[in-house]
Structure 1
Amino acid sequence: MERDIAARSKKNPKLFFNYVNSKKMKQEGVGTLLSRGGKLVDENGEKAEILNSYFSSVYTSEEPDNEGFPCNMPSSSNLATGAWVTREEIQKRLEHVKVNKGPGPDGIHPRVLNELSAVIAKPLHLIFQDSLRSGMVPRDWRIANVVPLFKKGSRSQPENYRPVSLTSVVGKLLEGVIRDRVLEYIAVHNTISLCQHGFMRNRSCQTNLVAFYEEVSRNLDAGMAVDVIYLDFAKAFDTVPHRRLMIKLRNIGLEHNICNWIENWLKDRLQRVVVNGTFSNWTSVVSGVPQGSVLGPLLFNLFINDLEVGIDSTVSIFADDTKLCKTISSMQDAAALQSDLTKLDNWAANWKMRFNVDKCKVMHFGRNNINANYLLNGSVLGVSLMEKDLGVFVDNKLSNARQCHSVATKANKVLSCIKKGIDSRDENIILPLYRSLVRPHLEYAVQFWAPVLKKDINELERVQRHATKLVKGMEDFNYEVRLSRLGLFSLEKRRLRGDMITLYKYIRGDYRQLGDVLFSHKNH
């Protein structure tokens, strides 16, 4: 059993942790919740109702008629074509359905769809074609079982849970078709801004961090001061207003049928929260793009795409995580940054979004920084000396010591969990678990924050040293021999290899569009 878990953990890390928790008889889910009346609730049905009520409370309401609402996005007369789907494409998608995922409210399990792909591809093709042609989406594709995922903080507070929608797997297949057609269109027309790195092909957290902080670092090296404002949207995905979203989709020139389909897909949605198999009542979903859907992330990107229009400062976005940056040498520069911040606040108000002011911060970089104050929605932004930006600790001196220590600590905790939770010390069990559960912590976005000090390099390497010693028969060999026998490279060598691969991608590979900004080329 442990060998099977080790082999499958690369694709589904939760398998390992579920196995360990089952051995401990430990269940981690929705804790005892605090109701609005201050009462502690432990019954599953009541907890489901409390969470459903909270998730629904953040939705955005819109005025009934705003068809003439102004939009900053460039309009296009080019219409996307080829939204229709072939039977062969449907069968291929069925064959690649992830069979370990859960079904939606319709109860149709993905394994059934996968194993009957050759049989059901034809009838699904007819259903999909009719849905696309008519712009009508079956009701079963517009309802969701919502699973509350704990984020951080107290488990008794409903606001510390994030809603993830489990929807019809059949509906998701057609969502995938629509998404791919829209992606083809926006790739041809360069619709999505280069400052957006979230949910985009050949862009990532790492490309966002590298591009943004390269500019910060370059200005600091030139002796200039820099101010960076970190912005946090409140419940961004849940508050996207549907009518305003549709205005933007039509404005970029998407095909009429696609727009009609998406509009109907968003209309009259229902959700219910499930806690340990117990359901809440159904509630209407009046705003937002469903978290857990196939289309949701792309629709959010298109909705937020004009955020940077009219902004003179540098804007960097990953999904809803937004940063604003400007060199500051005088109060006039600070006033210009304040003006851009006010424009972003106005954008949010116009499009029925809002910033969580308490979580928005400013970080002052540079020894000669004038430490200006900035206002957002009438409140002075708090000053931060360190931020966790897309999962990476960044401080006002651009030191990576905290990040190195943080990932080493996290990786060691997982390694300890493997040591205590897995009885076997077989190489074929320990190594897959290390590769899939431990090493990713040490290498996430590492081309951005790679250690340079010996103490930091050693702190990371010690994690792998410890991991290789867990393998039976390796205890008495030195580190270099253990690496050789287990077919591993040191983390330092892996980072060097990663640096070279990443550099190639920026200059000649998938990141060339971003690399043109980072590198200058000379013709010989």
Structure 2
Amino acid sequence: MDDHLESIEVTKEEVLTCLQQMNSNKSAGPDDVHPRVLKELKEIVATPLTPIYNKSLSTGQLPECWKCANVVQIFKKGDKTEVGNYRPVSCRMQTFGINFKSKVWMFADDTKMFNVVHENRNDTVQNDLKALSDWSKRWQLKFNINKCKVIHYGNSNPQMQFTMPTEKGDEDLPNANTEKDLGVTFDQSLKFSLQTNEAVNKANRLIGLVRRSFDYMDKDMFLPLYKSIIRPHLEYASCIWYPLLKPKR
């Protein structure tokens, strides 16, 4: 463990604050203890939890029970008897004991991996891809290689080729110029022109639909329809893509 972490000490007051902020509407985790129970019994629970957290920080280790998570297979489409058409869903990938050097996110049925590649070396990303593939095989929820792809960012990106282990051996992952994530289109330049164009085009189509649906419409009628049907498409995920570069004239 790094030296600067050795001085960190978790206090009971900090544990109480975290327990108080727990969402009681969430479901229980692998320990089957509901968040509402932890929240209402925070004064009692905080006492044993505080030394456990400090022990974990000082030793650089986690209790074995903390390395468990609930993984649910979500059917996407196609043949329900084909394992590749299911996706593993868990937001606690690293608690399974997989120590990735890359950043790995799982949201719903999507998995993202990110890292910086220097000096034409792709060892880190490639090793993490293998670890991720081994994890999926162990849980019998294999990744569909046809839906996996790589997108490179940066003008000096070496554009390395990455592979994913499959039953047929290592297969090359195709490179992509764009990727849609949670409804937002990302391109290699991160200028989001495609995202804004798609939003404007969809808004215009909806405006045309509204006009064709009514023989008469004044400002008072149109404004509620615009705010509820059209405007959300223009503002969706604007915290990600706005502000953006003005197009060249």
Coarse TM-score class (shorter-chain normalised): 0.5 to 0.7
Partner Cα distance (2:153, 2:36) in 1? 36
Letter in 1 for 2:229: L
Within the candidate set 196, 200, 219, 1:404 is matched to: 196
TM (norm. structure 2) is 0.61
Within the candidate set 415, 437, 458, 2:229 is matched to: 437
**Distance apart, 1:419 and its partner CA:** 0.8
Partner of 1:339: 127
- Cα distance 1:366–1:454, how it changes in 2: closer, same or farther (>3 A)? closer
Instruction: Decide whether the 8 Å contact of 2:149 with 2:175 is kept in 1.
Output: yes
- Cα distance 1:371–1:454, how it changes in 2: closer, same or farther (>3 A)? closer
Letter in 1 for 2:155: R
Partner of 2:52: none
Letter in 2 for 1:385: N
Partner of 2:45: none
Instruction: Decide whether the 8 Å contact of 1:308 with 1:315 is kept in 2.
Output: no
**Distance apart, 1:395 and its partner CA:** 0.9
Stretches of structure 2 lacking an aligned partner (at least 5 in a row): 1-23, 39-71
Partner Cα distance (1:385, 1:181) in 2? 38
Partner of 1:522: none
Partner Cα distance (1:379, 1:431) in 2? 53
Letter in 2 for 1:453: L
Is 1:323 paired with 2:115? no
Is 1:381 paired with 2:170? no
- Cα distance 1:187–1:355, how it changes in 2: closer, same or farther (>3 A)? farther
Partner of 1:238: 75
**Distance apart, 1:453 and its partner CA:** 3.3
Instruction: Decide whether the 8 Å contact of 1:331 with 1:372 is kept in 2.
Output: yes
- Cα distance 1:416–1:302, how it changes in 2: closer, same or farther (>3 A)? same
Q: What is the DSSP-based 3-state SS (H/G/I as helix, E as strand, rest coil) of the residue aligned with 1:339?
A: helix
Partner Cα distance (1:402, 1:414) in 2? 18
Instruction: Decide whether the 8 Å contact of 1:313 with 1:337 is kept in 2.
Output: yes
Letter in 2 for 1:316: W
Partner of 2:14: none
1:189-248 Cα shifts (integer Å, max 9, x gaps): 8xxxxxxxxxxxxxxxxxxxxxxxxxxxxxxxxxxxxxxxxxxxxx95138xxxxxxxxx
**Distance apart, 1:329 and its partner CA:** 0.6
Is 1:353 paired with 2:145? no
- Cα distance 1:390–1:302, how it changes in 2: closer, same or farther (>3 A)? closer
1:40-439 matches, cutoff 5 A: 180-182=26-28, 185=34, 236-238=73-75, 300-301=89-90, 306=95, 309-332=98-121, 334-376=122-164, 377=166, 378-439=170-231
Q: Percent identity?
A: 31
1:479-513 Cα shifts (integer Å, max 9, x gaps): xxxxxxxxxxxxxxxxxxxxxxxxxxxxxxxxxxx
Letter in 1 for 2:28: V
| More helix as a share of residues | 1
- Cα distance 1:422–1:317, how it changes in 2: closer, same or farther (>3 A)? farther
- Cα distance 1:359–1:308, how it changes in 2: closer, same or farther (>3 A)? farther
Partner Cα distance (1:374, 1:308) in 2? 23
Instruction: Decide whether the 8 Å contact of 1:394 with 1:403 is kept in 2.
Output: yes
Partner Cα distance (1:429, 1:346) in 2? 57
Count of aligned positions? 178
**Distance apart, 1:359 and its partner CA:** 1.6
Letter in 1 for 2:191: S
Q: What is the DSSP-based 3-state SS (H/G/I as helix, E as strand, rest coil) of the residue aligned with 2:74?
A: coil
Partner Cα distance (2:207, 2:27) in 1? 42
Deviates more, 1:305-314 or 1:315-324: 305-314
Q: What is the DSSP-based 3-state SS (H/G/I as helix, E as strand, rest coil) of the residue aligned with 2:104?
A: strand
Instruction: Decide whether the 8 Å contact of 2:151 with 2:175 is kept in 1.
Output: yes
Stretches of structure 1 lacking an aligned partner (at least 5 in a row): 1-177, 190-234, 240-284, 289-298, 457-524
TM (norm. structure 1) is 0.31
Letter in 1 for 2:205: K
**Distance apart, 1:179 and its partner CA:** 6.3
Partner Cα distance (1:394, 1:180) in 2? 31
Q: What is the DSSP-based 3-state SS (H/G/I as helix, E as strand, rest coil) of the residue aligned with 1:361?
A: coil
Letter in 2 for 1:319: A
**Distance apart, 1:370 and its partner CA:** 1.7
Instruction: Decide whether the 8 Å contact of 2:89 with 2:107 is kept in 1.
Output: no
Partner of 1:83: none
Instruction: Decide whether the 8 Å contact of 2:120 with 2:160 is kept in 1.
Output: yes
Letter in 1 for 2:185: F
